Amino acid sequence: MSFLGNNKYVNYIIMDSVSNILGIDKVNMNGKLILIEEQHDSNANFLLNSVIFNALKNNYGICFVLFHNTMNHYHNMGMKFGYNLTLLKEKDKITIIEPLKMIACNMEYIYEPTKNCIINDIFIIIKNECEKMMQSNESVLIIMDDLNHIFNFGANLKEAMYYIRYLRSLIEQYNTVQLYILTHIYKDELKNSLSNIFAQTLKYIAHLFIKIEPLETGYSSDISGNLIINWRIDNIRIKYNWPQISKYTYKLSDRQVQIYTPGTSTLS
Protein backbone atom coordinates (compact mmCIF):
# COMPACT_ATOMS: atom_id res chain seq x y z
CA MET A 1 0.00 0.00 0.00
CA SER A 2 3.05 2.25 -0.08
CA PHE A 3 1.82 4.32 -3.01
CA LEU A 4 -1.55 5.02 -1.38
CA GLY A 5 -2.13 7.93 0.94
CA ASN A 6 -3.26 7.93 4.56
CA ASN A 7 -6.93 8.29 3.77
CA LYS A 8 -9.74 6.96 5.95
CA TYR A 9 -9.87 3.20 6.25
CA VAL A 10 -13.47 3.20 5.01
CA ASN A 11 -12.28 4.31 1.56
CA TYR A 12 -10.02 1.26 1.31
CA ILE A 13 -12.98 -0.93 2.23
CA ILE A 14 -15.19 0.75 -0.38
CA MET A 15 -12.71 0.38 -3.23
CA ASP A 16 -11.83 -3.17 -2.21
CA SER A 17 -15.54 -4.00 -2.14
CA VAL A 18 -16.02 -2.70 -5.67
CA SER A 19 -12.94 -4.62 -6.89
CA ASN A 20 -14.33 -7.73 -5.22
CA ILE A 21 -17.70 -7.35 -6.94
CA LEU A 22 -16.02 -6.86 -10.32
CA GLY A 23 -13.71 -9.82 -9.65
CA ILE A 24 -10.51 -8.00 -10.60
CA ASP A 25 -9.01 -8.69 -7.17
CA LYS A 26 -9.20 -12.45 -7.79
CA VAL A 27 -8.43 -12.88 -11.49
CA ASN A 28 -5.08 -12.26 -13.13
CA MET A 29 -6.12 -9.60 -15.64
CA ASN A 30 -2.82 -9.55 -17.53
CA GLY A 31 -3.31 -9.94 -21.27
CA LYS A 32 -7.00 -9.10 -20.98
CA LEU A 33 -9.22 -6.40 -22.47
CA ILE A 34 -11.81 -4.87 -20.15
CA LEU A 35 -14.55 -2.64 -21.56
CA ILE A 36 -16.42 -0.15 -19.37
CA GLU A 37 -19.50 1.32 -21.01
CA GLU A 38 -20.76 4.51 -19.42
CA GLN A 39 -24.23 5.43 -20.61
CA HIS A 40 -25.18 9.08 -20.66
CA ASP A 41 -26.41 10.40 -17.29
CA SER A 42 -24.32 7.83 -15.42
CA ASN A 43 -20.84 8.12 -13.93
CA ALA A 44 -18.11 5.47 -14.21
CA ASN A 45 -15.62 7.28 -11.96
CA PHE A 46 -16.15 4.84 -9.09
CA LEU A 47 -15.28 1.91 -11.38
CA LEU A 48 -12.09 3.59 -12.59
CA ASN A 49 -11.24 4.49 -8.99
CA SER A 50 -11.54 0.83 -8.08
CA VAL A 51 -9.35 -0.22 -11.02
CA ILE A 52 -6.70 2.38 -10.16
CA PHE A 53 -6.82 1.61 -6.45
CA ASN A 54 -6.45 -2.13 -7.03
CA ALA A 55 -3.53 -1.55 -9.41
CA LEU A 56 -1.63 0.71 -7.00
CA LYS A 57 -2.26 -1.67 -4.10
CA ASN A 58 -0.64 -4.44 -6.15
CA ASN A 59 2.31 -2.27 -7.21
CA TYR A 60 1.24 -2.05 -10.86
CA GLY A 61 2.07 0.83 -13.17
CA ILE A 62 -0.65 2.74 -15.00
CA CYS A 63 -0.56 4.36 -18.43
CA PHE A 64 -3.43 6.85 -18.79
CA VAL A 65 -4.50 7.64 -22.36
CA LEU A 66 -6.89 10.54 -21.87
CA PHE A 67 -9.05 11.29 -24.87
CA HIS A 68 -11.77 12.92 -22.73
CA ASN A 69 -11.02 13.81 -19.10
CA THR A 70 -7.82 15.55 -18.03
CA MET A 71 -5.02 14.65 -15.65
CA ASN A 72 -6.47 17.17 -13.17
CA HIS A 73 -9.78 15.32 -13.23
CA TYR A 74 -8.12 12.03 -12.26
CA HIS A 75 -5.87 13.73 -9.74
CA ASN A 76 -8.84 15.33 -7.96
CA MET A 77 -10.72 12.03 -8.11
CA GLY A 78 -7.77 10.20 -6.58
CA MET A 79 -7.26 12.67 -3.75
CA LYS A 80 -10.72 11.78 -2.44
CA PHE A 81 -9.66 8.14 -2.14
CA GLY A 82 -6.14 8.46 -0.83
CA TYR A 83 -3.77 8.49 -3.80
CA ASN A 84 -1.95 11.42 -5.34
CA LEU A 85 -1.40 11.01 -9.09
CA THR A 86 0.93 14.00 -9.25
CA LEU A 87 3.32 12.37 -6.79
CA LEU A 88 2.90 8.99 -8.47
CA LYS A 89 3.83 10.56 -11.79
CA GLU A 90 7.01 11.96 -10.24
CA LYS A 91 7.83 8.43 -9.03
CA ASP A 92 7.28 7.07 -12.58
CA LYS A 93 4.43 4.97 -11.22
CA ILE A 94 2.03 6.43 -13.75
CA THR A 95 2.38 8.09 -17.12
CA ILE A 96 -0.06 10.41 -18.87
CA ILE A 97 -0.76 10.56 -22.62
CA GLU A 98 -3.20 13.27 -23.72
CA PRO A 99 -3.93 12.91 -27.46
CA LEU A 100 -5.99 16.10 -27.66
CA LYS A 101 -2.98 18.11 -26.53
CA MET A 102 -0.96 16.45 -29.28
CA ILE A 103 -3.64 17.47 -31.77
CA ALA A 104 -3.71 21.05 -30.46
CA CYS A 105 0.05 21.37 -30.82
CA ASN A 106 -0.15 20.24 -34.47
CA MET A 107 -3.48 21.78 -35.42
CA GLU A 108 -2.13 23.90 -38.27
CA TYR A 109 -0.66 20.82 -39.95
CA ILE A 110 -3.74 18.58 -39.77
CA TYR A 111 -5.21 17.56 -43.09
CA GLU A 112 -6.45 14.28 -44.54
CA PRO A 113 -3.11 12.47 -45.14
CA THR A 114 -1.86 13.20 -41.60
CA LYS A 115 -4.88 12.07 -39.54
CA ASN A 116 -3.87 8.42 -39.52
CA CYS A 117 -0.28 9.42 -38.80
CA ILE A 118 -1.39 11.12 -35.60
CA ILE A 119 -3.41 8.06 -34.53
CA ASN A 120 -0.45 5.80 -35.28
CA ASP A 121 1.87 8.14 -33.39
CA ILE A 122 -0.36 7.82 -30.32
CA PHE A 123 -0.10 4.02 -30.49
CA ILE A 124 3.70 4.19 -30.73
CA ILE A 125 3.80 6.47 -27.69
CA ILE A 126 1.57 4.06 -25.75
CA LYS A 127 3.80 1.13 -26.71
CA ASN A 128 7.00 2.97 -25.76
CA GLU A 129 5.60 4.18 -22.44
CA CYS A 130 4.38 0.68 -21.53
CA GLU A 131 7.75 -0.85 -22.37
CA LYS A 132 9.44 1.75 -20.18
CA MET A 133 7.06 1.11 -17.28
CA MET A 134 7.40 -2.68 -17.55
CA GLN A 135 11.03 -2.35 -16.54
CA SER A 136 10.06 -1.35 -12.99
CA ASN A 137 6.49 -2.61 -12.50
CA GLU A 138 5.07 -6.10 -12.09
CA SER A 139 2.18 -5.28 -14.43
CA VAL A 140 1.04 -2.26 -16.41
CA LEU A 141 -2.53 -1.08 -16.95
CA ILE A 142 -3.52 0.97 -19.97
CA ILE A 143 -6.62 3.04 -19.19
CA MET A 144 -8.18 4.68 -22.24
CA ASP A 145 -10.78 7.40 -21.61
CA ASP A 146 -12.93 7.81 -23.87
CA LEU A 147 -11.87 5.85 -26.97
CA ASN A 148 -14.94 6.95 -28.93
CA HIS A 149 -13.11 10.25 -29.44
CA ILE A 150 -10.97 8.47 -32.01
CA PHE A 151 -13.74 9.34 -34.46
CA ASN A 152 -13.15 13.03 -33.74
CA PHE A 153 -9.68 12.53 -35.18
CA GLY A 154 -11.24 11.65 -38.53
CA ALA A 155 -10.95 7.86 -38.15
CA ASN A 156 -13.68 5.69 -39.65
CA LEU A 157 -14.99 2.46 -38.15
CA LYS A 158 -12.53 0.27 -40.06
CA GLU A 159 -9.58 2.36 -38.87
CA ALA A 160 -10.88 2.31 -35.29
CA MET A 161 -11.06 -1.49 -35.34
CA TYR A 162 -7.54 -1.72 -36.76
CA TYR A 163 -6.48 0.44 -33.83
CA ILE A 164 -8.04 -2.05 -31.43
CA ARG A 165 -6.13 -4.82 -33.19
CA TYR A 166 -2.88 -2.92 -32.55
CA LEU A 167 -3.76 -2.54 -28.87
CA ARG A 168 -4.74 -6.19 -28.55
CA SER A 169 -1.47 -7.24 -30.15
CA LEU A 170 0.32 -5.14 -27.54
CA ILE A 171 -1.29 -6.85 -24.56
CA GLU A 172 -0.82 -10.25 -26.21
CA GLN A 173 2.84 -9.57 -26.93
CA TYR A 174 3.51 -8.44 -23.37
CA ASN A 175 1.47 -10.69 -21.09
CA THR A 176 1.95 -8.32 -18.15
CA VAL A 177 -0.20 -5.57 -19.75
CA GLN A 178 -3.93 -5.03 -19.13
CA LEU A 179 -6.15 -2.86 -21.30
CA TYR A 180 -9.13 -0.95 -19.88
CA ILE A 181 -11.26 0.93 -22.39
CA LEU A 182 -13.95 3.39 -21.33
CA THR A 183 -16.62 4.35 -23.86
CA HIS A 184 -19.41 6.86 -23.31
CA ILE A 185 -22.69 6.01 -25.01
CA TYR A 186 -25.79 8.07 -25.63
CA LYS A 187 -28.74 5.70 -25.28
CA ASP A 188 -30.91 7.69 -27.68
CA GLU A 189 -28.32 7.67 -30.47
CA LEU A 190 -29.24 5.93 -33.69
CA LYS A 191 -28.21 2.29 -33.64
CA ASN A 192 -26.08 2.83 -36.73
CA SER A 193 -24.00 5.64 -35.17
CA LEU A 194 -20.26 4.99 -35.25
CA SER A 195 -19.95 5.17 -31.46
CA ASN A 196 -22.67 2.59 -30.86
CA ILE A 197 -21.42 0.17 -33.53
CA PHE A 198 -17.89 0.51 -32.16
CA ALA A 199 -19.05 -0.17 -28.58
CA GLN A 200 -21.15 -3.15 -29.68
CA THR A 201 -18.14 -4.66 -31.45
CA LEU A 202 -15.86 -4.10 -28.47
CA LYS A 203 -18.28 -6.02 -26.24
CA TYR A 204 -17.68 -9.20 -28.23
CA ILE A 205 -13.90 -9.06 -27.99
CA ALA A 206 -13.68 -7.93 -24.34
CA HIS A 207 -12.81 -10.50 -21.68
CA LEU A 208 -14.83 -8.50 -19.15
CA PHE A 209 -17.64 -6.11 -20.04
CA ILE A 210 -18.93 -3.69 -17.40
CA LYS A 211 -21.86 -1.37 -18.04
CA ILE A 212 -23.37 1.36 -15.93
CA GLU A 213 -26.62 2.97 -16.88
CA PRO A 214 -29.13 5.41 -15.37
CA LEU A 215 -32.42 4.22 -13.96
CA GLU A 216 -35.15 3.83 -16.55
CA THR A 217 -37.52 5.53 -14.14
CA GLY A 218 -35.32 8.63 -13.97
CA TYR A 219 -33.77 10.36 -10.94
CA SER A 220 -33.94 8.72 -7.52
CA SER A 221 -32.52 9.98 -4.22
CA ASP A 222 -31.92 6.37 -3.13
CA ILE A 223 -30.29 4.79 -6.20
CA SER A 224 -27.94 6.35 -8.78
CA GLY A 225 -28.14 3.67 -11.46
CA ASN A 226 -27.56 0.09 -12.58
CA LEU A 227 -24.31 -1.87 -12.75
CA ILE A 228 -24.07 -4.88 -15.09
CA ILE A 229 -21.02 -7.17 -15.04
CA ASN A 230 -20.51 -9.64 -17.89
CA TRP A 231 -17.57 -12.05 -17.67
CA ARG A 232 -17.03 -13.50 -21.12
CA ILE A 233 -14.45 -16.17 -20.18
CA ASP A 234 -16.20 -19.42 -19.31
CA ASN A 235 -13.37 -21.05 -17.36
CA ILE A 236 -13.07 -18.01 -15.07
CA ARG A 237 -16.81 -17.92 -14.43
CA ILE A 238 -16.88 -21.65 -13.69
CA LYS A 239 -13.88 -21.40 -11.35
CA TYR A 240 -15.53 -18.71 -9.21
CA ASN A 241 -19.12 -19.86 -9.74
CA TRP A 242 -20.09 -16.51 -11.29
CA PRO A 243 -23.11 -16.07 -13.55
CA GLN A 244 -22.39 -14.83 -17.04
CA ILE A 245 -24.21 -11.60 -16.24
CA SER A 246 -24.53 -10.07 -12.76
CA LYS A 247 -26.81 -7.11 -12.13
CA TYR A 248 -26.61 -4.60 -9.29
CA THR A 249 -27.81 -1.14 -8.40
CA TYR A 250 -25.50 1.49 -6.96
CA LYS A 251 -25.72 4.71 -4.95
CA LEU A 252 -23.02 7.38 -5.27
CA SER A 253 -22.09 10.08 -2.79
CA ASP A 254 -19.06 12.37 -2.66
CA ARG A 255 -16.61 9.83 -1.21
CA GLN A 256 -18.62 6.63 -1.17
CA VAL A 257 -20.33 4.15 -3.41
CA GLN A 258 -22.78 1.56 -2.18
CA ILE A 259 -23.60 -1.43 -4.37
CA TYR A 260 -26.73 -3.47 -3.85
CA THR A 261 -28.13 -6.66 -5.21
CA PRO A 262 -31.59 -5.93 -6.66
CA GLY A 263 -34.22 -5.68 -3.97
CA THR A 264 -31.78 -5.16 -1.08
CA SER A 265 -30.31 -2.16 0.71
CA THR A 266 -27.15 -3.74 2.12
CA LEU A 267 -23.68 -3.06 0.75
CA SER A 268 -22.61 -6.01 -1.34
Ranges of H-type helices in 69-156: 71-79, 85-90, 99-105, 112-134
Kind and range of the H or E run holding 204: helix 194-205
The verdict on residue 38 lying in a domain is yes
Q: Does a structural domain hold residue 19?
A: no
Number of domains, the chain: 1
Is 37 among the domain residues?
A: yes
Contact partners, residue 261, CB within 8 Å, separation at least 6: 248, 268
CA nearest neighbour of 151 among 197, 95, 200, 204: 197
159 occurs within a structural domain: yes
pLDDT reported for residue 263: 61
Cβ atoms of 38 and 212 within 8 Å: the answer is yes
| Beta-sheet strand order (sheet of 33-39) | 94-97, 61-66, 140-145, 177-185, 33-39, 208-213, 225-231, 245-252, 257-260
Do the domain assignments include residue 23? no
What does the DSSP 8-state code read for residue 177? Answer: E
255 within a domain of the structure (yes/no): no
Q: With contact defined as beta carbons under 8 Å apart, do 19 and 210 qualify?
A: no
What pLDDT does 102 receive? 67
Say how many Å lie between the first and final Cα of the chain, rounded. Answer: 23
Residue 1 resides in a domain:
no
pLDDT on residue 255: 67
pLDDT at position 7, please? 46
Residue-number span of the structural domain to which 212 is assigned:
33-223
Q: What angle do CA 87, 93, 99 make, to 5 degrees?
A: 90
> Tell me, what CATH number does 46's domain have?
3.40.50.300
Tens of each residue's pLDDT in the chain, 268 residues: 444 544 444 455 567 788 889 999 999 999 999 999 998 888 888 899 889 989 988 889 999 999 888 888 888 888 877 788 889 988 888 999 988 776 665 555 444 445 566 778 888 899 999 999 998 888 999 999 988 888 877 788 888 888 888 899 989 888 899 999 999 887 665 556 778 888 888 998 999 999 999 887 776 778 888 999 999 999 999 999 999 999 998 888 766 788 888 765 544 4
